[in-house]
Structure 1
Amino acid sequence: STITVTATPDAGYELDYITVDGERIDGTTFTMPDHDVTVRVYFTDDAALPFTDVSAGAWYLDAVSYVYANGLMDGTSGTTFEPDANMTRAMVWAILARVDGETVTGEGWIETARTWAMANGVSDGTDAAGLVTREQLATMLWRYAGEPAAAGNGISAFTDAADASDWAIDGLNWALGQGIVTGMDDGILVPQGTATRAQAAAMLMRFVEL
């Protein structure tokens, strides 16, 4: 049978797209298979991004638009996103908690995020104020996904593969195989480099869209 999805966005938002079992569909109609499916509706801010430091040609524009429209990341002010700024471990816990449907706001947001991260096996809850590295972020996403097996040894393609921590190898290989994390233009991965807000936005968008 043919199914039409009716989605009413909140004020200030518009329908972006719909996925059925993770596959993006054209429009709002799809043919129902002979089994249950998961339908997800994504909305986007119907106005331009308010951030003056995210240019129209920036490689991270789509990612910033995505995390902002879906309430995963906010700006550092009403008009700035600071794409090159770093993120703390607690910020990542909070974002993943929001992906999981948790409300993480108010003065106690760090403890709320820490409790969620520990309960869900995402992190041990230490060093909340520490800057998150690329390998830490990849590993947290991998743990949240249920620690799936990696397809291949993608990290071996990078000249700085030896810089990755032993505990991060499985998570990095999985994230590389899924296209969640990518290398730099010069063919290195920089696993222990701090993750910028732009990089985090891109990784989160790719992860949620799996």
Structure 2
Amino acid sequence: MAFMLITMLSATVWSAEGKTYRVTGIGTSAFNNCSGLTGDLTVELGGVNKDNFMLSTRSIRSLDVSGKDSFTVVPKAGLGAGTYTVRVTVKGDKGILVSFEVSFSVSKKSEGSISNPFTDIKKSDWFYNTVLQVYDRGIFIGSSSTNFNPNSPMTRGMFVTALARMDGIDLSSFTSCKFKDVDMSKYYGPATAWAYKNGIVGGYGNSLFGPEDSITREQMAVILANYIRIKHIKISIVSPKTAKYADDSQISLWAKDSIYTMKAYGLMIGRSGYKGYSY
């Protein structure tokens, strides 16, 4: 006999943070009896405010006694001040397993009043203001509620997820992906499927994306350039595209145009572009 337990892991209420719920198969009395459960579980949003929310995934893998998975409910960026409520329903092959409401209160903030929740980010850090801006918009939410890990490598899966959050796209309809190494139950699954479908990423070939691989500056430049082109975003030129980097010979041919386009836009300007720091 298997049971399902849904517990709230994070319930911080703020303008763009999500609430994450863990779904666990256990062998003792729990939230809901799921005896005889087979196949995937699906997560659905309902209610009058459903269009103001996004789901990290709509599919949860089958649970056995020790199985576990999770999903995150996130309010979309740009919501006005107020309280928004959505009904979350988890279904299996036996019908509705559990249904509950999630609410977010969006507060109107004064200019420059973003609070810093991260203990590893200081005002003296050159990236301090940028980290708070992307956190406030829900693009990056940190490795935990108190840690951002600014010096940790970023994976390809992390980057496309951040791009999808910035775009504000509802990922709930992206339930499959052509890349055989992308697990749709992982946080990056729907975002990777979205990025591939829209021509933002193409993968390594042989149906591989490498979502857990650290992303290189070259790869980041190409993905950003693809996103800007596909979204028809107009950006002013701030520096000549013809000015070459000292290590130009080390840049892959497939990435050169994108790297110098990002340089011209002022989005990536090399290792000595800002007080000697790399970004």
Q: Same fold (TM over 0.5)?
A: yes
TM-superposed deviation, 1:48 = 2.0
The reply on whether 1:80 has 2:167 as its aligned counterpart is no
TM-superposed deviation, 1:73 = 0.4
> How many residue pairs end up in the alignment?
157
| Greater radius of gyration (CA) | 2
Q: Which residue of the other structure, out of 215, 218, 239, is the alignment partner of 1:132?
A: 215
The reply on whether 1:145 has 2:228 as its aligned counterpart is yes
Is the 1:150–1:173 Cα contact (8 Å) retained in structure 2?
Answer: no
1:118 is aligned to: 196
Q: Which amino acid aligns with 2:248?
A: A
1:8 is aligned to: 81
Higher relative contact order (CA 8 A, sep 6+): 1
Where does 1:38-49 land on structure 2 (aligned, <5 Å)? 46=113, 48-49=115-116
TM-superposed deviation, 1:102 = 2.3
RMSD (Å) for aligned C-alpha atoms: 3.3
Structure richer in strand, relative to its length: 2
Structure richer in helix, relative to its length: 1
Q: Specify whether residues 150 and 165 from structure 1 end up closer, same or farther in structure 2 by C-alpha distance, changes over 3 A only.
A: farther
Please give the per-residue CA displacement for 1:50-71, whole angstroms capped at 9, x wherever unaligned: 1011001111011100110000
Q: Specify whether residues 130 and 121 from structure 1 end up closer, same or farther in structure 2 by C-alpha distance, changes over 3 A only.
A: same
Q: Which amino acid aligns with 2:229?
A: G
Where does 1:153-172 land on structure 2 (aligned, <5 Å)? 153-154=241-242, 156=244, 158-172=245-259
Is the 2:81–2:107 Cα contact (8 Å) retained in structure 1?
Answer: no
Moved more, 138-147 or 65-74: 138-147
Structure 2 spans left out of the alignment, 5+ residues? 1-79, 84-104, 173-183, 204-208
1:96 is aligned to: 163
1:64 is aligned to: 131
2:121 is aligned to: 54
Distance in 2, matches of 1:174 and 1:150, equals 11
Query: Identity of paired residues, percent?
Result: 28
Please give the per-residue CA displacement for 1:153-194, whole angstroms capped at 9, x wherever unaligned: 3551x211111111111111111011101221399xxxxxxx
Length-normalised TM-score, structure 2: 0.49
Distance in 2, matches of 1:53 and 1:94, equals 22
Structure 1 spans left out of the alignment, 5+ residues? 1-6, 18-43, 188-194, 200-210
Length-normalised TM-score, structure 1: 0.64
